[in-house]
């Protein structure tokens, strides 16, 4: 199924007058407050978030998986799904592939398909947390950190292979997430595991093309429950520094122990020029991979406030690669992703409203109350009309969820793919 221009226009016709009323009201209010509404809208239009190829089907838990009808079962169909998201939201202009879950067969055809949807290939992700069929070595006791040289070499070779695959698609970065760790005290030697990981990452780094980046993701626990080799931003930062200037840390919002101050981590990494990538999701307890902004929208706003500050004040930090890393157990994955995209744009728009000059002044005056007022004034603003305007300007719809439903997208996909199609991946 493809959504065409006429359908988009038809969808917008209904909402246009109420959008205009709300936009004019907000625009006037913000302009009176000296906010540059047009610049904010332009920034929203440019902000593109990659969709991972594994997030388009229903996820599941270790207890069970409840499929969702009309799931994409091939890479082509996954790209088509991202195309639908992008068409409606104009915010999902990239896809991030997990290898070997989504290895293209015909590279030229895959590139052409993505191009036809106006989609580029973002970071490629390696997978050394599962044993593949017929693999010579096992990752049961680790991959890049394994005490067995054979397992380490196989994991390094896999990462180099992933770079080659990404290179053929136009990707410019490799994301490494390791499940390596230990389930029990005494199971592994922390120093040996870290040394092996560092050496292995350096070998992968050597194979990185000059214009590529290496993103090192961290996570405190799961699937190992006693220790994880790359457990936190400090370990990831240290490894990135050891590798070189093309290596960076990647922050996944779900990869922190409860109450961690993620915005402070973001600030530190950007100050040091080492925040390379970002995985969005939300959580209540751990790496829950829930819809972005569904549980802690204020925390997301504070993180965006740190990101906006970093993007404006830290030229030493490259523009980060944005990706949604969520899983969908009870919602239609495409609706869930639309909600995540909206929450990201909303937090970004609110952060853009923060008056950084006034905030700095209040900070220097130690006016703590004013500092909070400045942040919360931005947070409490309903910025949705700005998002709608940005989408309208780029050819998207005013209300993506409503359009998705009124165009009966899922029904069409089930018609095309059948009720029982199953997505590969997580």
Q: Applying CB under 6 A, which residues contact ligand LRH? A: 54, 125, 177, 217, 219, 252, 279, 287, 325, 426
> Given the complex with ligand LRH, which of 240 and 353 has the nearer CB atom?
240
The interface partner of residue 120, options being ligand LRH, Mn ion, none and the CB cut-off 5 to 8 Å by kind, is none
> Given the complex with ligand LRH, which of 232 and 252 has the nearer CB atom?
252
| Cα–Cα distance list, 91 to 82, 85, 186, 206, 260 (Å) | 10, 8, 47, 33, 28
Q: Closest separation between CB of residue 262 and Mn ion, Å?
A: 14
Q: Which of residues 325-354 bind Mn ion (CB under 5 A)?
A: 325
Where b means 16+ CB within 10 Å and e means fewer, 337-366 reads: bbbbbbbbbbbbbbbbbbbeeebeebeeee
Contacts of 251 (CB under 8 A, 6+ apart): 233, 262, 265, 266, 269, 275, 277, 278, 279
The interface partner of residue 301, options being Mn ion, ligand LRH, none and the CB cut-off 5 to 8 Å by kind, is none
Is residue 334 within a helix (H) or strand (E), and if so which, with residue range?
helix 333-353
Number of residues that bind Mn ion (CB under 5 A): 4
The interface partner of residue 246, options being Mn ion, ligand LRH, none and the CB cut-off 5 to 8 Å by kind, is none
Contacts of 158 (CB under 8 A, 6+ apart): 99, 126, 127, 128
**Closest Cα partner for 340 from 324, 328, 320, 329?**
324
State the Cα–Cα distance between residues 347 and 164, nearest whole angstrom.
35
Token readout for 290 is: 């829930």
| Residue 282 in the binding site for Mn ion (CB under 5 A) | no
Q: Closest separation between CB of residue 162 and ligand LRH, Å?
A: 11
Among the listed ranges 45-53, 121-129, 232-240, 321-329, the one in contact with Mn ion (CB under 5 A) is 321-329
Maximum Cα interatomic distance, the chain, rounded to a whole number of Å? 67
| Residue 252 in the binding site for Mn ion (CB under 5 A) | yes
The interface partner of residue 125, options being ligand LRH, Mn ion, none and the CB cut-off 5 to 8 Å by kind, is ligand LRH
| Residue 122 in the binding site for Mn ion (CB under 5 A) | no
> Given the complex with ligand LRH, which of 217 and 388 has the nearer CB atom?
217
Q: According to CB under 5 A, which one of 287, 332, 336, 346 is a site residue for Mn ion?
A: 287
List of residues contacting Mn ion (CB under 5 A): 252, 279, 287, 325
């Amino acid at each position: 199924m493809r959504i065409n221009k006429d359908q988009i226009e038809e969808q917008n016709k209904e909402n246009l007058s109420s959008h205009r009323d709300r936009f004019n009201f907000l625009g006037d209010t913000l302009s009176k407050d000296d906010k540059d509404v047009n610049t904010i809208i332009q920034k929203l239009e440019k902000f593109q978030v990659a969709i991972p190829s594994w997030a388009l089907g229903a996820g599941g838990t270790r207890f069970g998986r409840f499929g969702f009808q009309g799931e994409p079962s091939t890479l082509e169909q996954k790209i088509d799904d991202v195309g639908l998201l992008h068409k409606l939201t104009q915010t999902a202009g990239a896809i991030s592939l997990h290898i070997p879950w989504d290895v293209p067969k015909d590279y030229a055809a895959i590139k052409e398909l993505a191009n036809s949807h106006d989609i580029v290939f973002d970071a490629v992700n390696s997978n050394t947390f599962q044993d593949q069929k017929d693999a010579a070595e096992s990752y049961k006791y680790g991959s890049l950190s394994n005490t067995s040289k054979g397992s380490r070499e196989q994991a390094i070779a896999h990462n180099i292979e992933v770079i080659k695959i990404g290179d053929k698609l136009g990707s410019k970065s490799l994301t490494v997430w390791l499940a390596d760790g230990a389930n029990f005290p005494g199971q592994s030697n922390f120093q040996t595991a870290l040394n092996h990981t560092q050496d292995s990452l350096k070998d992968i780094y050597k194979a990185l093309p000059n214009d590529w980046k290496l993103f090192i993701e961290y996570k405190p626990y799961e699937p190992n429950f006693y220790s994880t080799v790359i457990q936190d931003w400090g370990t990831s930062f240290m490894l990135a520094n050891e590798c070189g200037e093309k290596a960076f840390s990647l922050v996944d919002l779900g990869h922190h122990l409860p109450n961690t101050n993620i915005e402070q981590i973001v600030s530190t990494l950007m100050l040091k020029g080492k925040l390379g990538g970002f995985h969005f999701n939300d959580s209540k307890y751990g790496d829950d991979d829930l819809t972005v902004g569904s549980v802690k929208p204020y925390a997301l706003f504070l993180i965006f406030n740190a990101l906006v500050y970093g993007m404006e004040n830290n030229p030493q930090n490259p523009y980060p690669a944005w990706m949604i890393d969520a899983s969908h157990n009870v919602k239609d994955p495409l609706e869930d992703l639309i909600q995540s995209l909206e929450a990201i744009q909303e937090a970004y728009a609110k952060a853009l409203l923060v008056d950084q000059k006034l905030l700095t002044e209040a900070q220097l005056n130690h006016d703590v109350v004013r500092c909070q007022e400045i942040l919360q004034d931005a947070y409490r603003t309903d910025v949705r009309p700005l998002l709608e305007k940005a989408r309208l300007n780029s050819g998207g719809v005013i209300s993506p969820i409503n359009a998705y439903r009124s165009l009966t997208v899922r029904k069409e996909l089930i018609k095309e793919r059948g009720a029982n199609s199953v997505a590969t991946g997580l």
